[in-house]
Structure 1
Amino acid sequence: MSDLDVLRRNKVLVPHTGRDVTSLGGLLAIGRMPQEHFPQLMLTFVYYPTVSGAEMSTGLRYLDSVVAEGPIPIMVHEALRALRRNMKRRAVVHGAGREAVPSKARPDCVDGFGSCRSRA
């Protein structure tokens, strides 16, 4: 199967007035810079010092901030990196070894309905 056939089959390229054009999904998923056409398409991650936001007594607004642009898979990858970097970890000792384990459910365990459950 040719590259062109793969792109057509996966609806990255769709027919329009007798020629193939990039679909919206194709542009968002594998386009080099979808923001060229959709300037407000971005993902912003902010890690606040408290559950309610900024720490008003110290003036600390946030602990980490990431703005991700590019195709959607790149934005999701950057968001997951920021989440993992900012998750608290606990040490679990197994015999002579030690393992750092996230203290909350891992961000890659989120299902399609927005809920999260810990993996065993």
Structure 2
Amino acid sequence: MSLDLHLEADSALTISALKSALENAGALEIDVAGDRLFAIFPSGLRVSGDLTDDSTIYAENKQGIGFPVALRCTIRIKGADPEGHSPMEDVDKIAESISQSCPAFFLISFQFEQTLYWRDAKGLHRP
């Protein structure tokens, strides 16, 4: 069984900025190929992202913010947590790292239905 979270961000979050944020969040491996990125975390969490021309926010609860989406990522949690590691802690580290290293507005949602994190002009939020 796997769970998918989705990161939607504005153009301030470039592939390069995302790579740095993921490194700071503890990614074990990061591969960048042009406008695409793939990363793996110790918890087994996998991040795959790319630039997009579709600027629509798909998260159902936008928390009152709006921005043109320039980068989308799927954050996949698959299988049981390895001992001593938590995929949700890694997601928290990713959100914190992006927020601290980049001015991008973004949303992280569970299957576009439930917003878990968002960053606006006032900073990073959780429900």
Question: TM class by shorter-chain length?
Answer: under 0.3
Q: Of the two structures, which has the highest relative contact order with CA contacts closer than 8 Å and spacing of 6 or more?
A: 2
Report the TM-score when normalising by structure 2: 0.26
Greater share of strand: 2
**What is the TM-score normalised by the length of structure 1?**
0.28
| Structure number with larger C-alpha Rg | 1
